[in-house]
Structure 1
Amino acid sequence: MAQGDIPEALTFDDVLLLPAESAVLPAGVDTQTRLTNSIPLNIPLVSAAMDTVTESNMAIAMAQAGGIGVIHRNMSVEAQAAEVYRVKRFEAGLVLDPVTISPDSTISELRAVKSQHGFSGFPVIDDSGALVGIITNRDIRFVSDDSVKVSTMMTTEVVTVPEHVDPEIAKKLLHQHRIEKLIVIDDEGRCAGMMTVRDIQRSRDNPKSCKD
């Protein structure tokens, strides 16, 4: 090839985009898009399905920001399901279908469930599915005998709220009763979820979070 036939080639460092005046204001920009017909995103960002990039922590962070994380499959099916489960259980403002404990369970069993899921409070549900109390770190902090039943240590006067409660009302109740957790109940009075101070604050901090 003759020297005169060599086409011009540029690298990123060879190009400079000059800023220019725009009629579009940042506040007027809509970054919403769709990953699929049924999966909307608030920001057009997807994290890669790589074992060095996306597991549950990254997927949660992406959802909070308004994007989505694709969990990699370089692990067993059971491990993949566990990662997805962690993401689906995490929703800013509300813990849906919370992990519960039986009043007949021992404190030792409670500690094992707490260690497995990483939660600090659990609704106490009897065999009929009725809400009979709540047990938190505060209730068991000084318990030395782990064979004690949950029913003897739980708080029976539970502050509850209906489904779809306004977060501001929930926040006021938490402050009024000096507690950190509210049990959400359905129309039949059964436990449908749980709200915490941290969850409500997280929801306010991430207004663009994606949920399904």
Structure 2
Amino acid sequence: MRLLGKALTFDDVLLVPAYSQVLPKDTSLSTLFSRNIALNLPLVSAAMDTVTEARLAIAIAQEGGIGIVHKNLTVAEQAAQVAKVKRYESGVLRDPVVITPHFTVREVMALSDQLGVSGFPVCDGGKVVGIVTGRDLRFETRYDQPVSEIMTPRERLVTVPDGTTLVEAKALLNKHRLERLLVVNEAFELKG
């Protein structure tokens, strides 16, 4: 075997802290991933089925990198994974799947399994009337009843207006021990 050039491992390199004239705020790690795609952080996840699907791609995108969805999916499954990533914006799912109060528990469970989503805003006439989550469904055995019987109703919902920062939203999630918040406008229409 012939060595083509010098090669280094992490153990071969030692970065020693020292004074620098360059301030962190003047430093940029941005780079071009391709001719048309710029990354704020040179962080790319592997296109492997054990590594990257929508969840990791979203997390990496939030940090300025990019996640490559693997190809061991059908074209439709790949498109669905990419759609999940594209719908997610700064911690907010901008186009969530919604249900009406007339959906049965059975229908919601099937939809949850099909889409891999554990919670659904419940809307009626364009207005938010509640939310149904995996917690509501977990031990439910009355499959033919409408979700309006088990959902968290509007009066008990914790919501935020559009434009709420991620820090404010996380504080509310922690305070109320919630998994998700609904973003609504003044008319209580769902925005995310």
TM-score of the superposition, structure 1-length normalised? 0.66
TM-aligned CA distance change 1:11 to 1:114, over 3 Å: same
Deviates more, 1:101-110 or 1:138-147: 138-147
Unaligned runs of 5+ in 1: 1-8, 194-212
Residues 90 and 166 in structure 2, CA contact (< 8 A), matched pair in contact too: no
Residue 91 of structure 2 is matched in structure 1 by 93
Alpha-carbon distance, 1:169 to partner: 3.2
Q: Distance in 2 between matches of 1:138 and 1:74?
A: 31
- Offset at residue 175 of structure 1 (A): 4.7
Q: 1:152 to 1:168 in 2, by over 3 A?
A: same
Query: Are 1:12 and 2:7 an aligned pair?
Result: yes
**Percent identity, aligned pairs only?**
45
| 2:148 corresponds to which of 151, 168, 188 | 151
Q: Greater CA deviation, 45-54 or 146-155?
A: 45-54
Which of 100, 107, 110 aligns to 2:108? It is: 110
Deviations 1:62-102 (A, max 9, x none): 32442113335565432321221232244552222112111
TM-score (structure 2 length as normaliser): 0.72
**Higher RCO (Cα < 8 Å, 6 or more apart):** 1
Q: Which residue of 2 is the match for residue 163 of structure 1?
A: 162
Instruction: Output the CA distance in 1 between the equivalents of 2:189 and 2:180.
Output: 16
RMSD (CA atoms): 3.4
Deviation string 1:145-194 (CA, Å, 9 cap, x unpaired) is 1001011111212222111113343344445545443210135431111x
Cα distance change of structure 1 residues 12 and 148 upon mapping to structure 2, 3 Å threshold: same
Quote the Cα distance in structure 2 between the aligned partners of 1:47 and 1:174: 28
Amino acid corresponding to residue 184 of structure 2 in structure 1: I
Structure 2 counterpart of 1:191, one-letter code:
L
- Aligned residue pair count: 182
Change (3 A) 1:18 1:100: closer
> Can you give the 5+ residue segments of structure 2 that lack an aligned partner in the other structure?
none
Residue by residue over 1:115-161, the C-alpha shift from the partner in whole angstroms, topping out at 9 and shown as x without a partner, is 223333211012x2221111123333432110010111112122221
* Cα pair 2:46 2:52 within 8 Å, conserved: yes
- SS of structure 1 residue aligned to 2:103: coil
The reply to whether residue 62 of structure 1 matches residue 60 of structure 2 is: yes
